[in-house]
Structure 1
Amino acid sequence: MGDRTPGQMTWKPDGATDAGMLHLRHDPSEKWRPYTEFPEYLVPDPPKFEFSAGYATFLALLKKQWQLV
Structure 2
Amino acid sequence: MNRQMCWLSKSSGDGEKVLYLQVEANKGWRPYTAYPQFAVPDYQIPGGSKGWATYQRLLKAGWTLVSTARANEFSTQVEYSESMVQNQ
Q: TM-score if structure 2 supplies the norm length? A: 0.61
Q: Does 1 or 2 have the higher relative contact order (CA < 8 Å, sep 6+)?
A: 1
CA RMSD of aligned residues (A): 2.1
- Which sections of structure 1, spanning at least 5 residues, go unmatched? none
Distance 1:49 1:7 in 2: 29
Q: Could you say which structure has the larger radius of gyration?
A: 2
Percent of residue pairs identical: 38
Q: Whose helix fraction is larger, Structure 1's or Structure 2's?
A: 2
Residues 23-63 of structure 1: per-residue CA shift (max 9 Å, x gap)? 00112311000000000011111212543100000000001
- Which sections of structure 2, spanning at least 5 residues, go unmatched? 67-88
> Aligned pair count?
63
